[in-house]
Amino acid sequence: MKAAFGNMFWGMLIVLLDIRIGFDLLIDPVGYLLVAYGMSRIDKAIPLFRVGKWIAVLLAAVSIPAVFDPGTVGGGFQALFESRTVEAGSWSDIWLTSLLGDFALMLLIYLLCEGICRLAKQQGEAGLDQQMQGAWWLYFVSSAPMMILSPFLLNFDIPGLFAILLGVGFVGLIAFVQLLHGFRRAGRDLDEADPQHRLDIRI
Amino acid sequence: MLRNHRTFYWIFAGLAVAAAACWIFNLAYYREGQLEKPVFLTHYIETENDEGTLFDLYVLENLEEEQQIAQIRIPGLERAQIAVSSRSSYRNQELVKYTVQLAGESADDVRFTARSSDWPLVFKQIEVDYADGTRSTENIGEIHLYPRPSAEPVLTVPQSMSSNGQEGQSTLQAEEDLRITGVDTGFEVGLGSRLELYWGDEVGEWDFDQPLEEWGRGSLLGEAKFPMELKKGGTTKLGYRFLDQADDDWATVYRLMPRIRTESSDGTSRILSVFVDYAPYPDEQQIRRFIKERREES
């Protein structure tokens, strides 16, 4: 268990961090694949992760173009914003991958949080359950409005955009930090759970 | 996390539908605001066939233009130097200004090949080479090219200025005692009451901190009385103001050349040409309406 949550921790950390030297040094596809690997190691115990690992693989594929060209696609709202400033990328490419990428990431984070919540409940780890719920809702409230708002950047000037970006960026960052801490805590507190024992909870 | 775990799937599905609807709406709106190809504005340009003469041509093109312009040529003025001199960016388009400079050779070519009865030479089309290798001929309005006056004018223009691309004035100074017998305003295609010309017999102090409005324009040219005597060193001024009336007026660009007729004390008549320029500064809404009209026309 600990190793699997460790994979997820490092995978999501790689996704979160951007160190660009012409290209992203910590490339997102590697991060997503690491998450997928971690999920696959305990998908017997958490059946939700069977779906989740394929979503992580999908995200790895979707984020490949952004490794080489930050102005094109892969980062949803970020891609839209960057494309406007660097005048690169085709909108028709962006909207498809942005829509796909943003929704896939949201679904992945939901499955990660929900899966850990269920296991935590089963193991009587109420604190971890609360933490992962908090991480999910913070992520949801920071990204859902941007999913609706970002298409309008294509055509309209949104008043206070910088403040909105700053606000949702900060809330999103807290959500990610909470999620990462949750992986660490799950690795420590849920290590007793049997990875081969299936949780009797419907997907 | 949720009491009924299926609730999340409903929330997620609702969000997906809403986001997809927003994207579809915005993409349709975005495509509606795209030009099918670069569009040259309508120009009415009067200029003299003289080395170094400059005038501007404007084209509106999409920021993400698939058919990018590589270069333009004016048939009959092939050796004129044409280069992009500025780009004004809008949300999805840019207004590109090409500055045409008549080089010595191009001007000489025209001068020697044209018969006197041919003047002014009129150019109505340009050839456009696109980056993808295609080529097209585009209407640009009219460029009227006049011969350079053979005699040096006895009026000079020590100062001229313009403001907002839509108004300006030229100070005229007499090099000798003379009479100004009138001002010919050349062709004013489609101008209507859009252009006002002013004539002032006194020039105030030039103060660039003051708006042009406060400098005083003088009286309307139609109310000015000619002939007018001017002593050597004496000054007067010719001012102009373009008044955009219709919403698409910005899309018709002018460079007009009022000609000031003078008569020296020995009876010699000469002409001084001054320039009256209109530069387009449309706002985002005007650009959008212009594109909408173009799309409806096509």
Domain boundary among B148, B182, B216: B148
Q: What are the pLDDT digits (tens) for B27-72?
A: 888 888 899 889 999 999 999 888 888 999 999 999 887 788 999 9
A85 and B CB contact within 8 Å: no
Q: How many domains in chain B?
A: 3
Check residue A203 and give its pLDDT.
44
Q: Nearest CA to A112 among A182, A201, A33?
A: A182
Chain B: residues touching A (Cβ < 8 Å): 1, 5, 8, 12, 15-16, 18-20, 22-23, 25-27, 29-30, 33, 63-64, 91-92
pLDDT > 90? residue B253: yes
The pLDDT, as a whole number, for residue A76 is 47
| pLDDT of B2 | 60
B244-to-A3, A188, B38, B89, B92 alpha-carbon distances in Å? 72, 73, 24, 21, 24
Domain assignment present for A201: no
Q: Which residue positions in chain A have pLDDT lower than 70?
A: 20-25, 68-98, 192-203
Give a yes or no: residue A202 inside a domain: no
ipTM computed for the complex = 0.73
Structure tokens at B111: 């001068």
CA distance B30 to chain A (A): 6
Sequence-distant (≥ 6) Cβ neighbours of residue A146 within 8 angstroms: A76, A77, A168
Q: Which domain holds residue A75?
A: 2-189
Residue A200 placed within a domain: no
Residues B282 and B157 in one domain: yes
Query: Given this model, what pLDDT does residue B225 score?
Result: 83
Distance from C-alpha of B86 to C-alpha of B107, rounded to nearest angstrom: 24
The answer to whether residues B167 and B242 belong to one domain is yes
In A19-38, the residues whose Cβ lies within 8 Å of chain B are none
What is the DSSP code (8-state) at residue A163? H
What are the pLDDT digits (tens) for B127-179? 999 998 999 999 999 999 888 877 788 888 888 888 777 888 888 899 998 99
pLDDT-based confidence at residue B237 (cuts at 50, 70, 90): confident
Do B185 and B298 share a domain, yes or no?
yes
Per residue, what are the HEC states of B143-198? EEEEECCCCCCCEEEEEEEEECCCEEEEEEEECCCEEEEEEECCCCCCCCCCEEEE
Domain count, chain A: 1
Selected residue with higher pLDDT from B257 and B78: B257
Distance of residue B95 Cα from the nearest chain A Cα, in angstroms: 16
Q: What percent of chain B has pLDDT over 70?
A: 86
Between CA B138 and CA B145, with CA B144 as vertex, the angle to 5 degrees is 115
- Shared-domain flag, residues B177 and B246: yes
Name the percent of chain B lying above pLDDT 90: 34
Domain check: are B127 and B165 in the same one? no
B60: Cβ–Cβ under 8 A, 6 or more apart, which residues?
Answer: B35, B38, B39, B41, B93, B94, B95, B96, B287, B290, B291
pLDDT confidence of residue B56? 95
Residue B78 has pLDDT above 70, yes or no: yes
Mean pLDDT of chain B: 85
A contacts of B26 (beta carbons < 8 Å): 151-152, 154-155
How far does A23 lie from chain B, in Å, by closest CA?
A: 24
Residue of A nearest to B20 (CA): A99
Q: Residue B224 is inside which H or E element, if any? A: none
Q: Which CATH number do you get for residue B64? A: 2.60.40
> For the CA atoms of B282, B287, B293, B298, what is the dihedral angle to 10 degrees?
120
Between chains, do B15 and A144 touch, taking CB under 8 Å as contact?
yes
Query: Are both B298 and B155 inside the same structural domain?
Result: yes
Decide if pLDDT at B107 tops 80: no
The better pLDDT of the pair B16, A99 is held by B16
Is beta strand B276-277 parallel, antiparallel or unpaired with respect to B269-273?
A: unpaired
Residue A89: per-residue pLDDT: 44
Q: Which of A193-202, B251-260, B286-295 has the lowest mean pLDDT?
A: A193-202
Examine the fold and report which residue of B107, B129, B148 is the final residue of a domain before the chain moves on: B148
* A117 in any annotated domain: yes
Residues B133 and B92 occupy one common structural domain = yes
Residues B175 and B224 in one domain: yes
Q: Three-state DSSP class for B25?
A: helix
Interface test with B, best of A77, A100, A133, A155 (most B CBs within 10 A): A155
Which structural domain, as residue segments, surrounds residue B198? 151-298
Confidence (pLDDT) at A54: 95
Together in a domain, B5 and B76? no
The highest-confidence range among A84-93, B149-158, B180-189, B255-264, by mean pLDDT, is B255-264
Chain B contact present for A117, CB below 8 A? yes
Structure confidence at residue B113 as a pLDDT band (50, 70, 90): low
Chain B CB within 8 Å of residue A199 CB? no
- The Cα of A154 is separated from the nearest Cα of chain B by a number of Å equal to 7
Q: What is the pLDDT of residue B112?
A: 58
Three-state DSSP class for residue A88: coil
- Whether A91 and B27 lie within 8 Å, measured CB to CB: yes
Residues of chain A contacting B15 with CB distance shorter than 8 Å: 103, 106, 144, 147-148
Asked if B235 contacts B219 with a C-beta cutoff of 8 angstroms, the reply is no
